[in-house]
Amino acid sequence: MSAEAQGRAPGRRRERTHLLYLTVLAAVIAGIVVGLAAPKFAVELKPLGTGFVNLIKMMISPIIFCTIVLGVGSVAKAAKVGAVGGLALGYFLLTSTVALAIGLIVGNLLHPGAGMHLTAALRQSGHAQATGASEGAVDFLLGVIPKTLLSAFTEGQVLQTLLIALLTGFALQSMGRSGVPILRGIEHIQRLVFRILAIVMWAAPVGAFGAMAAVVGATGVDALKSLAVIMVGFYLTCAIFVFVVLGAVLWLVARVNVFSLLRYLGREFLLIVSTSSSETALPRLIAKMEHLGVGRSVSGLTVSTGYSFNLDGTAIYLTMASLFIATATGAPMSVGQQISLLVFMIVASKGAAGVTGAGLATLAGGLQSHRPDLVDGVGLIVGIDRFMSEARAVTNFAGNAVATVVIGTLTKEFDRDRAREVLAGRAPFDETTLLDDRRPAEPGAVPPPAAPGDTATPAPANA
């Protein structure tokens, strides 16, 4: 009888969360309608979207910290963590280079920007975006180090949190059995953090409505019509990269179908599109990759690092936007200028993933450094940057999901049988806890503590 009750409970939870995401979809549609019907009122709704994104952002640092510490702390040897990180960075560099190449090819074929006119107002907008947009490599590296041990959590910097989590994980690893109680405590904190995140997600419809209404009300349809060529070209380029390039890599390395993986992450994509920020889906991506069968240490480290270093969508955007501006202003770039400018921008964009508008600021800063005569043209793209930001975020997110599975496979930390069960729908993701207690623990990992009233947690042996 109790088993039957346990079998019904997950179903009821899934129905409620299914209703939540249907509500998000309805909120997006309602936001578009309000934005078109009452633009001035719609712009005033922007704080609703900003508030929801901020709620998600406040959860990112504790989730990354707990995931990385538990993953690294349970690994037998520190060298394994270094191998995962090195392999991930090499993979990120390779895919970003491919994304750059595809963006260059499509941009040179389409010649976006032909026939556009640059007004004085647009020139001012372009220079405003370039102000303080980029930083040097030294500033970036120093910025990874937090001011204090706790400031990484209060300032919300992903790379700073990652550094503190790695140091903590290595320290606990070196403590041996004496560090086990601390790991158990962090396991409890992780449960609490994911429960809070599950509660926060119920504000998603309100946030999606406010964000979509504001952007449609501020942009309107005129800008979309005049800039349709670059928007369509950019979306098609992102689709080619995700489904052809990443799809081929995913199948050749892990024997996983990219359409199945993206369908599994459908709710996360809806959040990204509705808020135009990939950070809203970062915590859920970590949880879902572990549920899919990727080892905890690999999923946490790859996703966290990928959000700053695996910017495939941003690479394509910077490529096509630069070519668009050069053509629109009548000052086309040579192939050598294109490559040097875009390599600089990719380096300058590290750490900016998930921040709405960061891609536009990086574009302006790169042009200011390499081709100051093109900075005026940034104003041409301001009107549609928000819509391109959504495609950037979706592509970056898909790239990080594929990267996590690929790195997990290469490091033998990916359970392919488990993935088949999950992608086939026979092992559904628990939307209530966002944790999967039924998965077998990794070798050397600390067993999860029992949670009172949690039917998914196995009972202790002496119960």
Q: Check if the beta carbon of residue 320 is closer than 8 Å to that of residue 395.
A: no
Q: The whole model's pTM is what?
A: 0.68
Confidence grade of residue 250 (pLDDT, cut at 50, 70, 90): very high
Q: What was the pLDDT predicted at 246?
A: 94
428 located within any domain: no
Q: What is the pLDDT of residue 211?
A: 79
Q: What are 135-167's pLDDT values in tens digits?
A: 555 666 777 788 888 887 777 677 788 888 888
Average pLDDT over residues 21-28: 80
- SS3 state of residue 414: strand
**Does the pLDDT value for residue 440 go beyond 60?**
no
How big is the chain by its Cα radius of gyration, in Å? 23
Distance CA(180)–CA(75), nearest Å, equals 12
Report the pLDDT value the prediction gives residue 323, as an integer from 0 to 100. 82
Is 410 part of any domain? yes
CA–CA dist 395, 354 (Å, integer): 11
On the 0-12 / 13-18 / 19+ scale of CB atoms within 10 A, 189 is middle
pLDDT per residue as tens digits for the range 85-131: 788 888 888 888 888 888 888 878 876 655 555 444 444 444 455 45
Answer yes or no: are the C-beta atoms of 214 and 382 closer than 8 Å.
no
Q: Is residue 199 helix, strand or coil? A: helix
pLDDT at 1 over 50: no
End-to-end CA distance of the chain: 19
In a domain, 449, yes or no: no
For residue 251, being part of any structural domain is answered with yes
pLDDT above 50 (res 2): no
Whole-angstrom CA distances from 51 to 161, 194, 237, 280, 284 are 22, 19, 32, 12, 18
Q: What angle do CA 389, 353, 356 make, to 5 degrees?
A: 40
- What's 231's domain CATH number? 1.10.3860.10
Number of domains in the chain: 1
Q: Is residue 442 part of a domain?
A: no
**Can you say whether the dihedral through the CA atoms of 315, 340, 105, 251 is positive or negative?**
negative
pLDDT of residue 119: 47
Indicate whether 459 pLDDT > 50: no
The per-residue pLDDT for 446 is 43
- Helix %, strand %, coil % for the chain, to 5? 75, 0, 25
Collapsing DSSP states into helix, strand and coil, what is residue 322?
Answer: helix
Q: What percent of the chain has pLDDT over 90?
A: 12
How far apart, in whole angstroms, are the C-alpha atoms of residue 422 and residue 264?
8
Report how far residue 55's alpha carbon sits from residue 355's, in angstroms, rounded to the nearest whole number.
14
- How crowded is the C-beta side of 154, counted as CA atoms within 13 Å? 6
pLDDT digits (tens, 9 = 90+) for 323-365: 888 877 777 777 777 777 777 666 655 544 444 455 666 677 6
Cβ neighbors of 211 (< 8 A, separation 6 or more) are 31, 46, 48, 49, 50, 52, 53, 274, 275, 276
- Asked whether residue 429 is assigned to any structural domain, the reply reads no
| Parent domain of 191 | 8-423
CA 338/CA 322 separation, integer angstroms: 8
User: Does residue 432 lie within any of the structural domains?
Assistant: no
pLDDT given at position 137: 58
Query: DSSP assignment of 215-284, as one string?
Result: HHHHHTTHHHHHTHHHHHHHHHHHHHIIIIIIHHHHHHHH---HHHHHHHTHHHHHHHHHHT-GGGGHHH
Q: Is the pLDDT of residue 49 over 70?
A: yes
* pLDDT above 70 as % of the chain: 70
Could you give the CA distance from residue 459 to residue 166 in angstroms, rounded to a whole number? 31
Handedness of CA 250, 256, 262, 265 (dihedral sign): negative
Q: What is the pLDDT of residues 196-238, one digit of tens each?
A: 888 888 888 888 888 778 777 766 665 555 567 777 888 888 9
- Establish if 195 belongs to a structural domain: yes
Phi, psi of 126 (to 5 degrees): -65, -45
> pLDDT, tens digit, for every residue of 55-78?
877 887 887 788 778 877 766 555
Q: What is the pLDDT of residue 433?
A: 67
| pLDDT tens digits along 161-192 | 888 888 888 888 788 788 888 888 988 888 88
Task: Quote the pLDDT of residue 450.
Answer: 40
pLDDT in tens, 370-396: 777 777 777 667 656 666 777 888 898
Task: Give the model confidence (pLDDT) of 270-315 as tens digits.
Answer: 888 877 677 778 888 888 998 999 988 788 788 877 877 778 888 8
Q: Does pLDDT of 458 surpass 90?
A: no
Which residue from 313, 305, 254 is spatially nearest to 96, judged by alpha carbons? 313
